[in-house]
Structure 1
């Protein structure tokens, strides 16, 4: 592996990280708050380090697959470690491990938190905390490609390593142009949501905070009761709709702008996603009617919001679903596994993988019944290559294996099974809230340092979909060729 290429990429990412801290610094200055110096020190440290690495000479060497995967993993780890500096230096989060946990939760759009009293924190810190969702939602490397297209023609390896789903592709011939289009759509949808939230009587600052969390499907709020603090059905429906939209593959948003409705409706993952969402909402709505005095409007609002926040792995809350009957909780647990669509800002296994796994099972059943038959697995009318199916099987095994190891380690804290299991599932699927102690009204503050480190690793592994981290741990990748 050519470390010069990776370090130069890391330098570029760190330069942008320091620049993206400036809005939070401005808010701190306007409030004359105590975290001003923390942001200044952090910006200088990260900026100087980034500038030094950015100017490393690569002798014209272009990025290959190994540099792409290793670079993505290293960039996410380092930017998280340094992104925690404002929390730690300001004293907002006194323990560095806790500060890293909160930062990783932000960048990976997980939304899990160790904070017990969010509302006492200054606005600059809370803005940076939520802004990390927006930065990490689409992917910091994709942002880098959009702003710095000079990384090389083979920078497709960055997108392949960072983008969620089994088959990220180009919307237009150039990767840099694809990255720009993705961010234009991403930013446009965020701005529209901010405007609608302000119209719905949310303050401009709060609208930014919650739009960042919705767009990145992260779920950090500046309110202790999350979105439920506003007690506004209109706000809940706006956020519900946008959560579901951000959970859709962004290539379909591009097709929508082009007016290609036929291709959108033919997309099998898109159809399965919406069918699952609608059925889940209906079943949960009926089951929780008694909890809301048989008010269909209230029940529909709450069930729609919770289905949207779980299936898109956002993590906002308007009610404590720990108090719901077992069937609704079981459905939400299933949706935690599914996650959103490939190519969206959501986490989880992704609907396209679930769909292809079902198709693979159906294919094996047909082949068992009719051994001499010749068939193929197709998605959207196109044959699925055997390498894609192999990659999905490997991903699924690695995902489950990582979960099992993490559960065994976290279980040393002796919490109940549902707390332990859902904490690992919620972090590796980048959801945020789980059940029981880590439910929508709880947090991760009581876990041990070891468990917090394991859960932090789960968040990064889940966001990068396992392979980049596993590739980074492979001894062979460090050999020079």
Structure 2
């Protein structure tokens, strides 16, 4: 009995040490989130008339920065430790929940939203969804910029990348938990710096390109951030359709594609190594799906709806890319689209973007892997019984193989994804929405897309708003991270606090 008690005490002490580190790393992430919340105040240089709104960002931003910084300063161990995937999951879940919670405050204090509405807008921003209950015609410039900033930060995995840049070993568990297991360089810190460089460079070039295409500077900054993060918040009620400009649409398409590409693929592109890019299964899938779906939508929907052939072509291409990349910008409404067009959009939203990118959805790699596994299974049935084969795929410039364990994990994820999707659809329909509307809107929520056919609004039922919030959160953190993090917390907290 005494021996058992000593073992329990040692385990409790061990957990307390681990949770000191976990809280310290969470504090750093919160400090970064606080700085992001303060960042819109830089715009006061250009819009001094909005100085009266500064306190709405300063209060939560300063508090989160200071408290997070203190946790980081005093709780993180001096000696670098290696975090497990489950510990990384705890940090990710805590950090995102705190960022979302404090992120509601500016929307409540400045925009006058109630808590569910503010929580929806904050979640939509940090998860890069882009669904909105804010009337952009009545919103201040600081609020509009704040929405774009949290999308840019959330899309880049703000906390995870920054934390990985500080400590190599501890960053590995966090990067995996946040859904970015592929590295650009052997060292996590080096890899994180490369990602930040690529991401920042794209954002700056995007701003200049959109300005040259005809946007004002303020609109260009917001839409570059939102396109690159595949977020989709716009400063206009008509989104990209407000400009009705082929040049603006072309630049936005490039930014959306860059945002949905795996950062490893972008790295090879920038270095001029095109062979790994061409071999990449996600790139091949996009190269097939986007033209195919665009042709179907052009002949099945757009050609009979819009006044010119050029407009029909533009709509067919833009809307397919915005759905597959999970960005959520739009150039037209979908109320006059037929069922074929809606079906294509729903399928593309569920597929989603690249793994290790800013996009949401099931992810193109999983779809490609299941396709390869299907071909492998058929081939195996036709071969002699004792033949040993494995489906292969290219990961960067390395040839990798899918084993049964990986395929099983992917299949379980896809099953869980559709389970949550259909539960969300049922709840959405229970609030009086039609089945097509429910399928469309919850696919947009769960895949963090942001396209809407009107179900999402400021006067939507509170229960529906929370259902979408849960979908956006689960979709951004990819289920397993959330479940593992929450289970680990409930399992460890009794031992941490009570020694049980």
Q: TM-score, normalised by structure 1?
A: 0.92
Residues 359 and 478 from structure 1, CA distance in 2 versus in 1: closer, same or farther, beyond 3 angstroms? farther
Q: How much has 1:28 moved relative to structure 2? A: 4.3
Residues 212 and 58 from structure 1, CA distance in 2 versus in 1: closer, same or farther, beyond 3 angstroms? closer
Q: How does 1:164-183 map to 2 (within 5 A)?
A: 168-183=181-196
4, 11, 24: which one pairs with 2:40?
A: 24
Specify the alignment match of 2:109 in structure 1: 89
Supply the distance in 2 between the matched residues of 1:264 and 1:477 (Cα, whole angstroms): 43
The farther-off stretch of 327-336 and 368-377 is 368-377
Q: How does 1:102-113 map to 2 (within 5 A)?
A: 102-113=121-132
Alignment check: 8 A CA contact 1:471 1:477 kept: no
Specify the alignment match of 1:473 in structure 2: 486
Specify the alignment match of 1:259 in structure 2: 272
Supply the distance in 2 between the matched residues of 1:44 and 1:355 (Cα, whole angstroms): 44
Specify the alignment match of 2:306 in structure 1: 292
Residue 446 of structure 1 pairs with residue 459 of structure 2: yes
Q: How does 1:455-470 map to 2 (within 5 A)?
A: 455-470=468-483
Specify the alignment match of 1:74 in structure 2: 94
Specify the alignment match of 1:383 in structure 2: 401
Residue-by-residue CA offset, 1:426-475 (whole Å, 9 max, x unaligned): 111001124x433xxxx333332222122111111101111111112324
Partner SS state of residue 382, structure 1: strand
Residue-by-residue CA offset, 1:207-226 (whole Å, 9 max, x unaligned): 00000110100000011111
Residue 320 of structure 1 pairs with residue 340 of structure 2: no
Residue-by-residue CA offset, 1:71-110 (whole Å, 9 max, x unaligned): 11111111111111111122x0420121111011011110
Residues 5 and 394 from structure 1, CA distance in 2 versus in 1: closer, same or farther, beyond 3 angstroms? farther
417, 424, 430: which one pairs with 2:435?
A: 417
255, 276, 289: which one pairs with 2:289?
A: 276
Residue-by-residue CA offset, 1:12-34 (whole Å, 9 max, x unaligned): 11111222233312324633224
Alignment check: 8 A CA contact 1:139 1:163 kept: no
Alignment check: 8 A CA contact 1:28 1:123 kept: no
Specify the alignment match of 1:397 in structure 2: 415
Supply the distance in 2 between the matched residues of 1:365 and 1:444 (Cα, whole angstroms): 47
Alignment check: 8 A CA contact 1:305 1:318 kept: yes
Specify the alignment match of 1:114 in structure 2: 133
Residue 55 of structure 1 pairs with residue 73 of structure 2: yes
Specify the alignment match of 1:13 in structure 2: 29
CA RMSD of aligned residues (A): 2.0
Q: How much has 1:478 moved relative to structure 2? A: 4.7
Alignment check: 8 A CA contact 1:428 1:459 kept: yes
Residues 251 and 410 from structure 1, CA distance in 2 versus in 1: closer, same or farther, beyond 3 angstroms? same
Q: How does 1:238-257 map to 2 (within 5 A)?
A: 238-257=251-270
The farther-off stretch of 445-454 and 334-343 is 445-454
Residue 158 of structure 1 pairs with residue 178 of structure 2: no
Partner SS state of residue 410, structure 2: helix
Alignment check: 8 A CA contact 1:18 1:44 kept: yes
Alignment check: 8 A CA contact 2:37 2:150 kept: no
Residues 119 and 31 from structure 1, CA distance in 2 versus in 1: closer, same or farther, beyond 3 angstroms? farther
Specify the alignment match of 2:4 in structure 1: none
Residues 218 and 340 from structure 1, CA distance in 2 versus in 1: closer, same or farther, beyond 3 angstroms? same
445, 454, 466: which one pairs with 1:437?
A: 454
User: Which entry has the higher C-alpha Rg, 1 or 2?
Assistant: 2
Residue-by-residue CA offset, 1:412-438 (whole Å, 9 max, x unaligned): 32222222222221111001124x433
Alignment check: 8 A CA contact 1:227 1:317 kept: yes
Alignment check: 8 A CA contact 2:93 2:486 kept: no
Supply the distance in 1 between the matched residues of 2:62 and 2:263 (Cα, whole angstroms): 35
- Number of equivalences: 468
87, 101, 114: which one pairs with 2:120?
A: 101
Supply the distance in 2 between the matched residues of 1:195 and 1:53 (Cα, whole angstroms): 38
Instruction: Point out where structure 2 has 5 or more consecutive residues left out of the alignment.
Output: 1-14
